[in-house]
Structure 1
């Protein structure tokens, strides 16, 4: 029988400041803090996973925070390492873990004693896509090779895992996916254009179409809302411009520019959807990274930080979020998350400081 995870808040020092820009939280460990941080929102709280070292021992920790940025508790993982957090169909927080036998454990963060015998699975290296009805979905793609994408489908019954199934997705690979109602909508690059497909939760392709973008200056996009019968919304970039694309049911594209910077965008790191027209996006580019709030298809705020600086600057209001100066700083965004009450959190670390992690907790601003 598994033991319950214990609160180990004393392993970390947590400093908090509250100002007009929200909550600023600094997490300080005795040893190096790992960089595979992940943050999700469940049951009106944020949950952050991180790893650190104590007396040379590797530790996985889970932080539970309220929406104001207050730390509720810190739990120490005892059953495995490299966790991926996800929300089960009953709204409880679970995790996938690697164990010493190169197998995968899938466990809740609380009430582990109710699990009984623990089944071990073949490892699946992927990101949690979302949960719909009784199914939690994870997406994996081959970043450097040519293997087709895969989905791991966890089916729950009576709050326990009933079945684990791996589905292969026909090429093209490196799909960007979102769950909408009982379907998975996805886009991927195919011969220079975008292939939009709709798949059911059994892995069957229901619809597909090619969106022709040959004559557009377009580096990459991710889906905010994807559909065949109504307007789709995507966010993308090319060179130094971040923009929204609106695509109607016959494939006609309208573009709205959001941000123009002096350097080139490289990648959209994360997209967290609040609803169909409100979302948070993080990005990285040539010697910079940052995040932007889009409300009703209007840029509400955008924080950008450049290498060498110890702050992020909001490009509309010129407000500054400052971090401790270490010299030749390099601030990195390791996770973003939104809640259901128009708030968000951004997890940041400085490559020049191995023992500290920072969380910015903000409320969304109204658009005039």
Structure 2
């Protein structure tokens, strides 16, 4: 081609032929320089494009790592929540047993105290009777010594008898009962200390659970922020590729791009002008869907301990939004027939879409896609992300 551009033509007859040939050669030289310049620019843009592709691959790997860390943190949090619930149940059972034991011991203690007081009063009465009998006996002995004959009373009835042995045994049993009561009081004291220790541990577990929940929320926000930035970079890359399309065949360009880059994304090149945003609540999202997406029916707001919920349906898809303290959790579900093929597809989607969890409920026979949104999004942006996830149900 270059030989055709630079070759010399035979000089035709006439006086202006040489000048004409020189002008043609100059034009060809300028054209060759322009071609070389365009070639260099094309090579430079190709190198820049390769750098962008490398950076996008690195960011994708980073997002995958964050996703795995988040899944690990969620599993760890779930395990800790289960352990925490078990500890709470065990603590509640111990507390109930402790209260029952306390009531039982307190009742026994009161009964033993009353019994001991009764026996003590009986012993006092017997002692007084014995002292009266002693004085009477000494008086009669004194009369006999003075020459006054009197018959002494029969003291055989006052000699220690088996009933006194029985009283002694009862007193010993009472002392043993008092010792056992003291031992039970010590055990009760230990149980109180253990209860206090378990209460401290329960408070520590609650603080740890709160810290893990805050960490989980922070990781979810970072993942959502990374997800929002990634489609913009991919769209800019598609614009660059489109500007270079005349320089390379379309089929070769599509073969070089990975599968996840070939999927069309719902991302606009021009950003919308900034407007005053209000917090995204269930009422705000309900009004937006009623005005802009009348196909949602019915739209119902429900209340729960976690927060307000918004439910709606479009065709065979069911949508549910749970408005937490800092984030919004959305669930999209549809009836599907289970099987190995469905499980493999859900596994591929889970790897392909960062921040969204795909799972199948055998009991309900439904496929669920769950993700999170930030409350600083406007309703249009939030629903755009939700619709992108819903598109996978139609695939």
Give the TM interval when normalised to the shorter protein.
under 0.3
Considering fraction of residues, name the structure with more strand: 1
Considering fraction of residues, name the structure with more helix: 2
**TM-score, normalised relative to structure 2:** 0.19
**TM-score, normalised relative to structure 1:** 0.20
Instruction: Indicate the structure (1 or 2) with the bigger Cα radius of gyration.
Output: 2
